[in-house]
Amino acid sequence: MPALALECAARNDIGRRANNEDAVYTSSKLAAVADGVGGAAAGEVASQRIVNSLAHFDTSRLDIPLDAALENAITMGNESIGFMAGARPQMQGMSTTLTAVALSNDGTYVIANIGDSRTYLLRAGEFTQLSRDDSLVQDLIDAGHLTPEQARRHPARNVVMHALDGDPERRPSTQLLPAMFGDRLLLCSDGLSDVVDFDTLRELLLRHADRGECADRLIALALESGARDNISAIVCDVVIREDPATAWQAPLVHER
């Protein structure tokens, strides 16, 4: 099987907020969206700290499996959030969601998620939400008390049950899934998914072949639909990797 890579278009808009608490990251093998939890102190600092940790991870050599290495990078970012919150009283309570996809050298997605930012997959016309929201309304959906449509209008739809807040017990849920050439991924903050429904997201991803144009249209539609939150969207196409240097690098072997 040919080696695969990500080609991504990332867009971020402040929306109707006074500050931007979203942070995004992309490379040929990693994409992530972090959303500082609304109403918490210094949410923009928390989201940037976790993205900085992932950026450092993206340039490091792997000496353990990719899923474990990704979890370690997220743990380090979470520890950084906890350290800053402890050192600066004005930042106590800051936290962030995270959705991230790492593409392994053997063509496997490692998906990590905590909070209500989301990862979707479009494959051969079939559109699937890969992540599960850590939110109050998702718990109510799972318990049969709400339908997904009712959840979109629920007054507590933005209540997040788990986020990266420096607590060492915080861990993202992770899953592994085979990647395929021609897949299209969408990673987004709830500024998009709260106001643009599932079917419309699928339609836009199918309609706009150019990922940059697609990402632009997603942001524009969220604004047209009345989004009040920051809005982030990353559209990633899975392509054949042309440059071996963009793969995850194994540890250096020192000859004796």
**What's the number of domains the chain is made of?**
1
Separation of alpha carbons 224 and 195, rounded Å: 9
Domain extent, residue 59, equals: 4-14+20-242
Give tens-digit pLDDT for 42-51: 899 999 999 9
Residue showing tokens 């793969």: 247
Q: Residue 164 domain-assigned?
A: yes
Q: Which among 30, 24, 13, 4 is positioned nearest to 234, based on CA atoms?
A: 24
Q: If you average pLDDT over residues 97-101, what whole number do you get?
A: 98
Q: Residue 247 domain-assigned?
A: no
Q: Residue 224 domain-assigned?
A: yes
- The H or E element containing residue 99 is strand 96-103
Q: Residue 253 domain-assigned?
A: no
Question: What pLDDT is stored for residue 253 in this prediction?
Answer: 59
Separation of alpha carbons 60 and 104, rounded Å: 14
Give tens-digit pLDDT for 201-238: 999 999 999 999 999 999 999 999 999 899 999 999 99
Give tens-digit pLDDT for 141-153: 888 877 777 777 7
Question: For the chain, what is the mean pLDDT?
Answer: 92
Contact 235, 21 (CB under 8 A): no
Q: Residue 252 domain-assigned?
A: no
pTM: 0.93
Q: Among 34-38, 73-77, 93-97, which stretch is predicted with the lowest mean pLDDT?
A: 34-38
Separation of alpha carbons 26 and 153, rounded Å: 31
Contact 162, 134 (CB under 8 A): yes
CATH code at position 191: 3.60.40.10
Percentage of the chain beyond pLDDT 90 is 76
Answer whether residue 249 shows pLDDT above 90. yes
Q: Residue 254 domain-assigned?
A: no
Q: Residue 48 domain-assigned?
A: yes
Contact 94, 85 (CB under 8 A): yes
Answer whether residue 175 shows pLDDT above 80. yes
